[in-house]
């Protein structure tokens, strides 16, 4: 019994974060379905296959119905739980949605095949994940709460433990630690996992990007400290800005009390498939997905740095990168130390660029910064710099309620708006999250001719668009 309890469980990321991290989220269903039979027999705890940036990419570039993809994967993986990544009240879009949209989305995702919902909020504001998590449980699905890991003077072990307890109390079945930037080191991982293990009784699930080259050691230490489930990607989609390789972690723990029980020979067949698949997407490969250890110095996620580089280039200010990297921690402090993940990474990064390029701090303030400082993304853990808030919103009162509390139910309005262009409630939800590209998708579908981005021979450099999608939700 004890032995069985100690067995390490694995979530395979090949179908979502693996290609999102390395191939700009471009993998198509046609390259997934042929291997599903073998994937289904591996014995994974779950296969992450939906959500994150995949929904956007399906509609925008691949012209592939995201809900169709989910149904097809669900059929092809009858014995394996499909996991999705959900940005709490933002769902998969870029604003807060009213509760009825969130509830309907979770209902339809459940109905179409999602078994495990990993729900996170960039601010770690529990109010922003509550509706989604409650609805997951109402659908009898597995709810995984998430701690977005970051470091700052206010992000203490006690804080993370309280956050974990809050998620457990909310009814979560498991607790994910999401280290999007590769900030965890073996030493602080052991401390964090041990502290959580002492106070939280639901299983712990670690998601740590390999960007800084320490993720394998981080997982090794995490498991020894009591972590129950780890996220890995089959080797051709592992490493760099992706994750530790599935086979490597399985082999590392083989024969130990944490033995995963997974078959390395069976995993090789999966690896062989994705080794070939990766070659097809070579135009989406870039230097920006390689290992990058700068995070040890500046605590800034690698994906964010390449976005900043693009922004500076557009403004002809490439030489200002060092100043921007110095400015980011200051902006983050002014903002009360949000974790840097979508959308806060973009808000902080863009404001830092403006502070440097305009020549004066907060001389130009983005609308997103204004919303943030008004509390429209949720509550920051640290103290907001009131002088900066004043510059941004003047005498306007920041809100102290949950952002979505200010929203009226909107499913009916959305349904009316889209009219008969939507063929299903799923279509309405697609439209809710991505109004413009969903409409275009519906039109192409109606015309019987989809116009996907070509896989070969780019007509423009692959960099520009792909970066945006890559950086979305690490």
| Count of beta carbons in the 10 Å neighbourhood of residue 97 | 25
Stretch that binds Co ion, among 15-23, 258-266, 344-352, 401-409 (CB under 5 A): 15-23
Q: Which of 110, 152, 194, 248 binds a copy of itself (CB under 8 A)?
A: 248
366 binds, among Co ion, a copy of itself, none (CB under 5 to 8 A by kind): none
Q: For the chain, how many residues are written?
A: 474
Q: Is residue 17 within the footprint of a copy of itself (CB under 8 A)? A: no
16: phi then psi, degrees, rounded to nearest 5? -135, -80
406 binds, among Co ion, a copy of itself, none (CB under 5 to 8 A by kind): none
- Please, what is the minimum distance in Å from the beta carbon of residue 197 to a copy of itself? 20
Q: Is residue 214 within the footprint of a copy of itself (CB under 8 A)? A: yes
- Token pair 């890559």 in the structure block, residue: 470
Q: Is residue 18 within the footprint of a copy of itself (CB under 8 A)? A: no
Would you give the DSSP letter of residue 267? H
Q: Write out the two tokens for 208.
A: 């740590």
Q: Which of 129, 238, 300, 312 binds a copy of itself (CB under 8 A)?
A: 238
Q: Which of 129, 234, 352, 474 binds Co ion (CB under 5 A)?
A: 474
Share of the chain residues as helix, strand and coil, in percent rounded to the nearest 5: 55, 10, 35
- Per CB under 5 A, contacts with Co ion among 347-386 are none
- Please, what is the minimum distance in Å from the beta carbon of residue 251 to a copy of itself? 5
17 binds, among a copy of itself, Co ion, none (CB under 5 to 8 A by kind): Co ion
Stretch that binds Co ion, among 131-139, 299-307, 440-448, 466-474 (CB under 5 A): 466-474
- Compare residues 156 and 256 and give the one whose CB is closer to a copy of itself: 256
Q: Is residue 157 within the footprint of a copy of itself (CB under 8 A)? A: no
Q: Binders of a copy of itself: how many residues, by CB under 8 A?
A: 38
- Compare residues 124 and 235 and give the one whose CB is closer to a copy of itself: 235
Picking from 150, 473, 470, the residue whose alpha carbon sits closest to that of residue 295 is 150
- Compare residues 179 and 334 and give the one whose CB is closer to a copy of itself: 179
Are 16 and 235 contacting, i.e. CB atoms less than 8 angstroms apart? no
Peptide bond before 377: cis, by omega within 30 degrees of 0? no
Cα dihedral across residues 325, 372, 344, 418: positive or negative? negative
Cα 61 from Cα 84, distance rounded (Å): 20
Cα 412 from Cα 429, distance rounded (Å): 11
Q: Which of 11, 16, 17, 190 binds Co ion (CB under 5 A)?
A: 17
Stretch that binds Co ion, among 14-22, 141-149, 156-164, 331-339 (CB under 5 A): 14-22
- Compare residues 299 and 366 and give the one whose CB is closer to a copy of itself: 299
Q: Which of 244, 336, 339, 343 binds a copy of itself (CB under 8 A)?
A: 244
- Per CB under 8 A, contacts with a copy of itself among 51-90 are none
405: phi then psi, degrees, rounded to nearest 5? -65, -20
- Please, what is the minimum distance in Å from the beta carbon of residue 453 to a copy of itself? 24
- Compare residues 21 and 80 and give the one whose CB is closer to Co ion: 21
Are 144 and 117 contacting, i.e. CB atoms less than 8 angstroms apart? yes
Would you give the DSSP letter of residue 363? S
Picking from 236, 235, 238, the residue whose alpha carbon sits closest to that of residue 208 is 238
Are 14 and 242 contacting, i.e. CB atoms less than 8 angstroms apart? no
- Token pair 């999401």 in the structure block, residue: 178
- Please, what is the minimum distance in Å from the beta carbon of residue 385 to a copy of itself? 27
Q: Write out the two tokens for 330.
A: 């200051």
Give the bridge partners for 175, in sequence order: 145, 204
Residue 329's Cβ-count burial label (10 Å; 0-12, 13-18, 19+) is middle
Q: Is residue 247 within the footprint of a copy of itself (CB under 8 A)? A: yes
Binding interface with a copy of itself (CB under 8 A): 185-187, 212-214, 216-217, 220-221, 235-236, 238-240, 244-245, 247-248, 251-252, 254-256, 264-265, 267-268, 271, 279, 287, 290-294, 296-297
Binding interface with Co ion (CB under 5 A): 17, 474
């Amino acid at each position: 019994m004890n032995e069985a309890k100690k067995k390490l469980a694995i979530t395979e990321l090949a179908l979502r974060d693996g290609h999102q991290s390395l191939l700009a989220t471009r993998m198509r269903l046609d390259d997934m379905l042929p291997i599903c039979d073998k994937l289904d027999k591996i014995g994974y705890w779950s296969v992450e296959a939906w959500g994150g940036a995949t929904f956007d990419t399906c509609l925008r570039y691949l012209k592939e119905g995201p809900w169709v993809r989910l149904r097809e994967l669900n059929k092809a993986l009858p014995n394996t739980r499909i996991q999705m990544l959900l940005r709490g009240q933002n769902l998969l879009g870029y604003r807060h949605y009213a509760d009825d949209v969130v509830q309907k989305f979770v209902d339809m995702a459940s109905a179409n095949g999602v078994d495990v919902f990993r729900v996170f909020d960039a601010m770690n504001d529990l109010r922003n994940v509550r509706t989604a998590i409650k609805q997951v449980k109402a659908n009898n699905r597995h709810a995984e709460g998430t701690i977005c890991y970051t470091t700052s003077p206010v992000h203490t072990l006690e804080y993370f433990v309280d956050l974990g307890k809050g998620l457990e109390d909310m009814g979560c079945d498991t607790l994910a630690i999401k280290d999007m930037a590769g900030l965890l080191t073996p030493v602080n991982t052991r401390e964090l996992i041990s502290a959580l293990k002492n106070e939280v009784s639901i299983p712990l699930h670690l998601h740590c990007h390999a960007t800084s080259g320490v993720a394998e050691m981080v997982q090794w230490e995490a498991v020894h400290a009591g972590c129950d489930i780890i996220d890995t990607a089959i080797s051709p989609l592992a490493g760099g800005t992706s994750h530790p390789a599935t086979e490597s972690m399985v082999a590392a723990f083989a024969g130990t009390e944490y033995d995963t029980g997974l078959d390395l020979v069976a995993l090789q067949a999966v690896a062989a498939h994705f080794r070939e698949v990766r070659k097809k997407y070579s135009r989406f490969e870039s230097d920006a997905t390689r290992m990058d250890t700068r995070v040890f110095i500046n605590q800034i996620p690698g994906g964010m740095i390449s976005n900043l580089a693009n922004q500076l280039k557009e403004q002809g200010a490439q030489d200002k990168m060092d100043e921007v990297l110095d400015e980011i921690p200051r902006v983050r402090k002014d903002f009360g130390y949000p974790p840097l993940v979508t959308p806060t990474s973009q808000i902080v990064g863009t404001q830092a660029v403006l502070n440097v390029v305009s020549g004066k701090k907060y001389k130009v303030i983005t609308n997103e910064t204004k919303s943030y400082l008004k509390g429209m993304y949720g509550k920051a853990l640290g103290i907001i710099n009131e002088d900066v808030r004043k510059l941004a919103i003047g005498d306007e009162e920041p809100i102290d309620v949950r952002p979505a509390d200010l929203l009226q139910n909107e499913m009916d309005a959305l349904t009316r708006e889209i009219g008969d262009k939507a063929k299903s409630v799923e279509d309405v939800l697609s439209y809710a999250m991505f109004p413009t590209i969903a409409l275009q998708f519906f039109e192409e579908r109606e015309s019987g001719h989809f116009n996907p981005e070509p896989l070969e021979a780019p007509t423009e450099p692959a960099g520009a668009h792909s970066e945006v999608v890559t950086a979305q939700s690490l």
